[in-house]
Chains A and B, each alone.
Chain A
Amino acid sequence: MSTTPTESSGLSAYRRREQSITLSPLDEQLGGAETTDELLTLNFGPHHPATHGVLRLLVTLQGEIVRDVKPVIGYVHTGIEKTAEDKAYWKVIPIVERMDYLAYYFNAMAYVGAVEKLVEVEVPKRAQYLRVIHLELNRIASHLIWLGTSALDLGASSIFLYCLRERELILDLFEMSSGARMHTRYFQVGGVIEDIPSGFEPKLREFLKIMPKRADEYGAILNSNEILLQRLRGTCPLDADTLLSLGVSGPLLRAAGNPWDLRKADPYSSYDDFQFKIPVGTIGDNYDRFAVRLAEIYESVKIIEQALDGLPEGPHITEDRKVALPPRHELATSMEALIHHFKLVTEGFRVPPGEVYNPIESPRGELACYVRSDGSSKPARVHMRDPSFVNLQALSHMVEGSYIADMIATIAMLDPILGGIDR
């Protein structure tokens, strides 16, 4: 005879209680109404690891399907454009660099390019090549952070450490050339602040040898990760025409098959000297966005190799003492150099009145700087057309009608940088 009390049905009290539990209490509360039609508005972020920064989304869900996404931004708005109006032209460089904090060389390039157009200063060829080297290194670093954090969101966690390992090599190079690892202030109006030091080239060559192999490894790891592939393949595609009407550019547009790249279409800083390809996707789904960025790393390596091989001799910054600081050794011997130095440091240089718009290709798309000068030594208006800010509008178009888990993958592949969005 059993020790547990049983009833005529043969079930224990415990089993009966277990069976009485309904697994969908919501159904009962709603009196059997069709719960799948119910819309739920969910607050997502701003402090959420999958939003890549302080991005807040108001997500309207029907079951697990996303019906509407409204981004709420501005949490890290720091008024950089307003601050820029109160600084001399060359002192604006360090603050604009802090907008898109993964692509600081690009922010500086867009800004100094705009000022160079206004002042009509000629940038020496060596400076242009040095800029290209640093821009492309920065593009790789930015893509590495994107790849690592995105893979982390999609469940492949070890790749994050590998990506940061390679990024560390790039930051070491930045430290060699400018003394700072991030926000380096390396680009100046008219050129770059200093020539590269003697140990830079062998170290860069070593990196260029390592990087394609490591990128091969990333591709091998991720392309054989079934979970990652299922979350990327065929999810949240958007066609090129819709992307264009939304103003989207960069890898997102190229993933949809439109090979628009300002480095090729409208070359600046001697990009027309280099041979490289523009990786494109086909249908513009999340996998294409992933594949395009991964392929861009190889192209950047190629560009850096060519720039390093063909690095011309010559000055690294313009000889025009009205916009560029005189070399240190001249200060001890030349009165004129001392005067120029004093004028530049105290007042800065005056810029002819006018407006310019300088677009460049950042890791996220068309990054452009609009500068209006009123003839004084401070800009009257600095506006950054940040690609993340514009591209974010495409998010709701991409994810409407897909699962909320796919939305996480799409945010990762969108690669928004909130410092750039909020400025």
Chain B
Amino acid sequence: MPDATGLELLAHELGDTVLETVYFRERATLVIDPPTIRGTLAHLRGRGYTFLASVHGVDHYPEEPRLSVVYELLDMNRVDRVTVKLRVPTDAPVVQSVTADTPEGAGWPTANHQEREVYDMFGVVFEGHPDLRRILLPEDYEGHPQRRDFPIGGEPVIFTLDEANWLESRA
């Protein structure tokens, strides 16, 4: 991890695109302006963070803006990690995809499955993703279940109706 000073230096390099820096439990996080994600990751790649380890989706309910996408970058030579985080509201959950190559920088092919997962679970739309479909849930599934306001506690499955009919016929 870059230490707290290193994190501020990185933030200084990136200028106004960084909204906030968080240094918590030896984990350095840059909170950035969502439209600048491609440029930010490209810049960090130039600083040695060449491995995109993971992409997480998070719902900060009830805080606004609710959704966030977290990118975990890793520099394998210095064994150094930095986290990039951006937040988008639920009424316009659009983020630029970093999967494919763009004029802002080379792509991160590893983000393909992970962005699809975030889309599937949180409904964040990744603009420019080559194949943005649901990945873990069925294609006709409604809603994005990892959102914190998604109702839990049972959903109709294929045999629910049959069971109801069967019980009715027995009554």
Q: Which residues of A approach B to under 8 Å, CB–CB?
A: 73-74, 77, 79, 81-82, 85-86, 117-118, 120, 244-248, 260, 265-266, 354-357, 359, 366, 368, 370, 372, 380-381, 383, 385, 389-390, 392-393, 422-423
Contact = CB atoms under 8 A, between A and B. Distances in A.
Interface in B87-122: 108-110, 112-114, 117, 121
A356 B79 contact: no
B145 A244 contact: no
Contacts of A422: 136
A390 B135 CA distance: 12
Given A74-B135, A381-B58, A381-B59, 20 more contacts: A74-B136, A74-B138, A77-B136, A77-B137, A117-B25, A245-B109, A245-B110, A247-B110, A265-B79, A354-B25, A355-B70, A356-B24, A370-B72, A380-B58, A383-B58, A389-B114, A390-B54, A390-B114, A392-B113, A422-B136
B52 interface: yes
A366 B136 contact: no
Given A355-B27, A370-B70, A393 B53 contact: no
22 contacts: A73-B135, A73-B136, A79-B145, A85-B148, A117-B25, A245-B108, A245-B110, A246-B109, A247-B51, A266-B79, A355-B27, A355-B58, A356-B25, A356-B27, A370-B56, A380-B148, A381-B56, A381-B58, A385-B56, A389-B113, A390-B54, A393-B112
B53 A366 contact: yes
B171 to A, nearest CB: 33
A278 B45 CA distance: 27
A223 to B, nearest CB: 31
Interface centre among A81, A366, A381, A392 (most CB of B within 10 A): A381
Contact of A82 (B26, B109, B145): B145
Interface of B: 24-27, 29, 50-54, 56-60, 70, 72, 76, 79, 81, 83, 108-110, 112-114, 117, 121, 134-138, 145-146, 148, 150, 152
Contacts of A85: 148
Nearest to B76: A260
Contact of A359 (B53, B110, B138): B53
Contacts of B146: 81-82, 381
Contact of B54 (A81, A260, A385): A385
Contacts of A73: 135-136
A357 B27 CA distance: 8
Contacts of A368: 53-54, 72
A423 B120 CA distance: 13
Contacts of B70: 355, 370
A261 to B, nearest CB: 11
A263 B114 CA distance: 25
A92 B21 CA distance: 30
B83 A357 contact: yes
Contacts of A260: 76
In order of increasing CB-CB distance, the 4 nearest A-B pairs are A247-B110, A385-B54, A74-B136, A77-B136
B96 to A, nearest CB: 18
A224 B136 CA distance: 41
A81 B148 CA distance: 12
B26 to A, nearest CB: 8
Nearest to A241: B50
Given A266-B79, A390-B114, A357 B54 contact: yes
A248 B25 CA distance: 26
B114 A355 contact: no
A383 B56 contact: yes
B145 A247 contact: no
A418 B54 CA distance: 18
Contacts of A120: 25
Contacts of A244: 50-51, 76
A359 B24 CA distance: 16
A372 B83 CA distance: 14
Interface centre among B54, B110, B138 (most CB of A within 10 A): B54
B100 to A, nearest CB: 12
Nearest to A81: B146
Contacts of B24: 354-356
B56 A82 contact: no
B135 A265 contact: no
B109 A357 contact: no
A359 to B, nearest CB: 7
A175 B171 CA distance: 48
A91 to B, nearest CB: 16
Contacts of B138: 74
Given A357-B81, A368-B54, A390-B113, A118 B135 contact: no
A266 B113 CA distance: 26
A372 B63 CA distance: 14
Contacts of B134: 74
B101 to A, nearest CB: 11
